[in-house]
Structure 1
Amino acid sequence: MESTARDSSAPASSSPAQALINWDLAASTAARLASAGPTLNSAEIGEAVDSLRRLADASVPHVHEITGLEAARDLRDSSVLVVDRASWAKANTQSFAVMLKPAMDKMLESRRGNVSPAAASVSGAITGSQLGAVLAFLSSKVLGQYDPFAALAEGSKAPAAGRLLLVAPNIVAVERELNVTPDDFRLWVCLHEQTHRVQFAAAPWLRHHMLSEIDNLSGHLLGNVDSLMERASAAARSLKDRTATGSTPGRGAILDLLQNPEEKASLSHLTAVMSLLEGHANVVMDAVDASIVPSVRTIRQRFTDRGKDRGVMEKFIRSLLGLDAKMRQYSDGAKFVRAVVDVAGMEGFNRVWESADNLPTEPEIHDAKLWVDRMGL
């Protein structure tokens, strides 16, 4: 499927951190391994792209009405791109390069002189190939994604506030699988993704706050490579044991990599923020009725039920990558948002976008009253 994202920014490989992860190889590996998706002729491709662009625009007034966020009125500082799987993967290598650059540069500086250029090149190729394989798997699962970090990539031509990616082949594949009305399903998806776009517009400080927290966590994890490799091996064994016993892997495998309280606090904060963002977007999706999306009840039911049919291998990979933990974030965050709105209304909830101090902690995500009391609502 034709993409508008291929020329959206320069290659992510100009950073010295290329010695640790070959970003270009990651993108090309993902493009090679990812399937193209459903078969569409040129007319169908054009219709899908035009439809998604139109419905992305049409969803914005609904997001504004539901959230009450004035930021939804003007989103010209960011863009909407309809992409294929390979372009989604490439866009994510660019974002990963931005997010991990500070930690990787520090790591390279600490190991300067200890690793030969040839060894560094081999290491970068291995990690790049591995990342590409992960992105290839994910590229067939993601329907859309708001990327707030695109503009920070070196040589990027992305708008200052980032870009919204709608993965057309995946949206088409799922709507066919569920046998639902295409325009209804596409609008439903756009409502969720446009909400993320509005969140970062309403809280312009949020992008750099998240980068700082990601840098903090990745700096801890990459600070001691030898320790990290030992912990990663232990985490892999733990994941295998959990899978064999039928217990929940998910986030536990990540926690096995963390040792000191500061590392765990960083992960806890990022988990709370992601739960907030995903839960809020889900609440917006669920707030629409048949007057906006005529077949919304059917879509919700069939979309929820589709996860029950996943095979053993896919379930294992999803656990390894933490995708099931991410789905719990959707649920936990949505419960938090609804609980706050029930007490303080949407205006009271929207205080969360005012500053980083107003972001909920992980305990508050699970007990909204703690946040309500802290905010004095």
Structure 2
Amino acid sequence: MGDVIDWDLAVRVGSRLAGDGPVVSSTEAQDVVAELREDAARSTGLVRDYTGLLAPDNTAPVLVVDRAGWVQANADGFAVALAPLVDRVTSKRTPGPVATAIGSRVTGLEVGGLLGFLGGKVLGQFDPFHEPHGRLLLVAPNVVHVERELGAVPGDFRLWVCLHEETHRVQFTANPWLRDHLFAQIAALAETMDVASILDDGLKRVTDAIKGTGQTGSLVDLVSSPEQKEILDRVTGVMSLLEGHADVVMDGVGPEVIPSVDAIRRKFDKRRKGVGALDRMLRRLLGLDAKMAQYRDGAMFVRRVVDTAGMERFNAVFAGPENLPSRTEIHDADAWMKRVL
């Protein structure tokens, strides 16, 4: 796979673009790392008690990383997640213009640019593709940057972030089938790819998306045939559920342990909208606007089901792939409850 994507180049470019983050003393850096580790460990019990989901101990590790560490970890994760697509491209590739279009340095630069942009923004992330059970990443410099930007109480904000990310860790480690299900969707998406079509007119469609002159809003839309749309709808339903569930948990647990949680939520939601024309364009191009909708729509779905049926019955959503809400059901929780409960 290395001849298709130069991952080392992607990591170098991504780390350079992401930068180091805010200036902190060595003592402060050590304190931040220690507090994030403690908050992640504390969040495990809080998430368990609130959700009723039981995750085995000592499965997915918690790593507190800098921006370069996050870039490296995601390059590793992309290499695993994109393997089915890369294998398909490689099998269809012939020498000449096609080989040039997907040359390893070109794709390495593209992936590096993506990682660099996100590496300066992501606060935390659960990586489900890391063997054998995934891993939780907390990006210390970004946490410090945002808490300063919001004027948040550092201890409160750090625990609030950990509650959200630990919920994702619990979701996957308490329900190991989720990882296999997501990977199966990626493999299925790769099988539907018309590689020649993507390579022939993909650049023009990307340019149109950047200019806002095309029919699509994000890079995900650029490769969406009807069959791919169906797969992406399934993935959207899953991700909306997981993100919304984590938001509900962090806000449900928050008032009991985080005195300033209301102020944090209000300021953070405003920040999620993005600032500046370049930032808004990149968010649209990368589909991050859709991700913001996933938080909102997923949280509304979870709250509706929990308020109506209770948390214990809501947890039926994690019984297996057949119980996951479709993209349509995310917007119609009553239909999901009628079908599943």
SS of the aligned residue for 1:36 comes to coil
Q: Which one-letter code corresponds to 2:128 in the other structure?
A: P
The residue aligned with 1:193 is: 165
SS of the aligned residue for 2:64 comes to strand
Distance change >3 Å, CA 174–CA 228, structure 1 → 2: same
Q: Once superposed, what is the RMSD of the aligned Cα atoms?
A: 2.1
The residue aligned with 1:63 is: 47
Distance change >3 Å, CA 370–CA 320, structure 1 → 2: same
| Contact kept? 1:250, 1:324, Cα under 8 Å | no
| Contact kept? 1:275, 1:333, Cα under 8 Å | yes
The within-5 A match list for 1:50-129 is 50-71=34-55, 74-111=56-93, 114-115=94-95, 123-129=103-109
SS of the aligned residue for 1:360 comes to coil
The residue aligned with 1:137 is: 117
SS of the aligned residue for 1:145 comes to strand
The residue aligned with 1:226 is: 197
Per-residue CA deviations over 1:161-203 (Å, capped at 9, x if unaligned) read: 1110000000000111111111110000000000000000121
Distance change >3 Å, CA 299–CA 227, structure 1 → 2: closer
Q: 1:34 aligns with which of 6, 9, 18?
A: 18
The within-5 A match list for 1:1-377 is 17-71=1-55, 74-111=56-93, 114-115=94-95, 123-151=103-131, 160-221=132-193, 223-231=194-202, 233-234=204-205, 236-241=207-212, 250-251=217-218, 254-259=220-225, 261-307=226-272, 310-375=275-340, 377=341
| Contact kept? 2:244, 2:298, Cα under 8 Å | yes
Distance change >3 Å, CA 183–CA 335, structure 1 → 2: same
Q: Which one-letter code corresponds to 1:286 in the other structure?
A: D
After TM superposition, the structure 1 stretch with the greater mean CA deviation from structure 2, 138-147 or 174-183, is 174-183
Aligned pair count? 340
For residues 341 and 287 of structure 1, the distance between their equivalents in structure 2, rounded to whole angstroms, comes to 12
The residue aligned with 1:3 is: none
Distance change >3 Å, CA 262–CA 56, structure 1 → 2: same
| Contact kept? 1:20, 1:120, Cα under 8 Å | no
Instruction: Give the percent of matched residue pairs that are identical in Structure 1 and Structure 2.
Output: 48
SS of the aligned residue for 2:257 comes to coil
For residues 217 and 38 of structure 1, the distance between their equivalents in structure 2, rounded to whole angstroms, comes to 39
Unaligned runs of 5+ in 1: 1-16, 152-159
- The CA deviation at 1:307 is 4.0
Q: Which one-letter code corresponds to 1:230 in the other structure?
A: D
For residues 360 and 141 of structure 1, the distance between their equivalents in structure 2, rounded to whole angstroms, comes to 29
SS of the aligned residue for 2:121 comes to coil
Q: Normalising by the residue count of structure 2, what TM-score does the alignment of the two structures yield? A: 0.94
Per-residue CA deviations over 1:123-144 (Å, capped at 9, x if unaligned) read: 1111101110111110011000
For residues 257 and 232 of structure 1, the distance between their equivalents in structure 2, rounded to whole angstroms, comes to 11
Per-residue CA deviations over 1:303-337 (Å, capped at 9, x if unaligned) read: 12234560111111111111111000000111111
For residues 309 and 262 of structure 1, the distance between their equivalents in structure 2, rounded to whole angstroms, comes to 32
The residue aligned with 1:10 is: none
Q: Normalising by the residue count of structure 1, what TM-score does the alignment of the two structures yield? A: 0.85
Q: Which one-letter code corresponds to 2:223 in the other structure?
A: L
For residues 92 and 215 of structure 1, the distance between their equivalents in structure 2, rounded to whole angstroms, comes to 18
Distance change >3 Å, CA 56–CA 258, structure 1 → 2: same
Distance change >3 Å, CA 177–CA 264, structure 1 → 2: same
For residues 122 and 221 of structure 2, the distance between their equivalents in structure 1, rounded to whole angstroms, comes to 24
Distance change >3 Å, CA 278–CA 213, structure 1 → 2: same
Distance change >3 Å, CA 190–CA 205, structure 1 → 2: same
For residues 67 and 320 of structure 2, the distance between their equivalents in structure 1, rounded to whole angstroms, comes to 35
| Contact kept? 1:140, 1:170, Cα under 8 Å | yes
| Contact kept? 1:75, 1:198, Cα under 8 Å | no
For residues 78 and 110 of structure 2, the distance between their equivalents in structure 1, rounded to whole angstroms, comes to 14
Stretches of 4+ aligned residues off by more than 4 angstroms: 119-122, 248-251
Q: Which one-letter code corresponds to 2:175 in the other structure?
A: A
| Contact kept? 2:101, 2:199, Cα under 8 Å | no
For residues 293 and 50 of structure 2, the distance between their equivalents in structure 1, rounded to whole angstroms, comes to 23
After TM superposition, the structure 1 stretch with the greater mean CA deviation from structure 2, 303-312 or 334-343, is 303-312
Per-residue CA deviations over 1:98-123 (Å, capped at 9, x if unaligned) read: 01112211321232xx227xx56981
